[in-house]
Copies of this chain bind each other. A is one copy, B any other.
């Protein structure tokens, strides 16, 4: 577990990285839709099947580092300062993510995403998966969880905030506004019936 990366794994990682770099370069040069999988494979000097053994789909080439996003979200919940309330921690993290999208280095990539329906669609369904993880992270904290349904709703709202803020002309203001709404929603979240299956004995109030 202590990173005993052998030659094989290093080579594999190198191949993966080479494919991702090549793909991103070609996409930015010629446009996402104008570049075919066969082009990327040829330019990266690998077979098409090899490319698909590293990436599940063409879109996945663009969101190579999407695990980071997921881990930052769940980390904001699990690693927050002791006693810190949930919503501000999430807001801080989401704000940082949104800003990163507009940073000089990442901006062209996100412009490309916004211009391609296929990529936008892929990103949204990726975010939905992230929401599931976030909901699980919230639900795993006994002092936090307010029932499966409320946790899931919360996670969705947070993802919505990210999505909407990124698309807004003034992301910071939009984010503040949406998180004010989220804060209010979370404040009243308190299951009444809770027939969601995980009756873990609500230690509420």
Contact = CB atoms under 8 A, between A and B. Distances in A.
List the number of copies, as a whole number: 2
A153 B169 CA distance: 15
Interface in A40-80: none
Interface residues of A, number: 41
A180 B125 CA distance: 26
B193 A170 contact: yes
Contact of A125 (B121, B149, B160, B195): B121
Nearest to A195: B170
- Mostly helix, strand, loop or mixed at chain A's interface? helix
A185 B160 CA distance: 13
A189 interface: yes
Interface in A94-126: 121, 124-125
B149 A177 contact: yes
B196 A169 contact: yes
Interface string A152-174: 11101100110110001110011
Interface in A119-156: 121, 124-125, 128, 147, 149-150, 152-154, 156
